[in-house]
Amino acid sequence: MSKPTPGPWKISHGGFGTDDGFSIASNSIEAKNVKQVAECWPCAIVNDDHRRELAANARLIAAAPQLLAALKAVEWEGWAPREDDYCCPSCRNPKYTKHHPNCQLHAAIRAAEGTEL
Ligand SMILES: [Zn+2]
C-alpha cells in the first residue's frame, strides 16, 4: 500500500492579489513524487464566513500527517490491568483482542490510511 506524501505539510495562500484560495504542500525533502498535496480554491468567495471556512479546511488538511502520527502514537498506550498488556485509549480493548468494531480511534486511522485505489 502506498504511503501519503511525507509531512509536515504547509499552507500557502493563493497566488493572485484577489485570490483567497489555499494550497497545501509538503515541506519535507523526503517528498519526491508529490509536493502539492491539496488545494482549497473557491469558485468565488461569497463572504467572510466562506473565507474563514476555507482557511479552516486548509488548516485541517495541512495538519493531517501530524494528526495521523499522533493517533498512531497513542493507539495502544492506554492503561491495562496487566503490566505486559496495553489497551486502546478510545475503545479500551486490549491490544491482543484488537479494536472494538465501533472504535473512533481505529476508524480515524483506517479512514486516513484507507485502502489502495
Ligand atoms: Zn480502539
For 30-87, the pLDDT digits (tens) are 998 888 899 887 777 778 888 888 889 999 999 999 999 999 999 999 887 776 678 9
Question: What range does the domain containing 22 cover?
Answer: 1-62
In a domain, 68, yes or no: no
Among 20, 37, 62, identify where a domain stops: 62
In a domain, 96, yes or no: yes
3 and 23 fall within a common domain: yes
38 three-class SS: strand
54 and 92 fall within a common domain: no
Residue 25 CA, ligand 1 centroid: distance in Å: 31
User: How is residue 95 annotated by DSSP?
Assistant: G
1 and 52 fall within a common domain: yes
d(CA 117, CA 42): 27
| Torsion sign over Cα 105, 108, 112, 117 | positive
Residue 42 CA, ligand 1 centroid: distance in Å: 37
23 three-class SS: strand
48-62 and 64-74 helices cross at what angle (nearest 10)? 50
Residue 91's pLDDT is 95
Q: What is the pTM of this model?
A: 0.82
Residue 68 CA, ligand 1 centroid: distance in Å: 14
The residue type of 37 is V
Residue 46 CA, ligand 1 centroid: distance in Å: 41
CB-based burial of residue 107 (10 Å sphere; 0-12 exposed, 13-18 middle, 19+ buried)?
middle
Residue 93 CA, ligand 1 centroid: distance in Å: 6
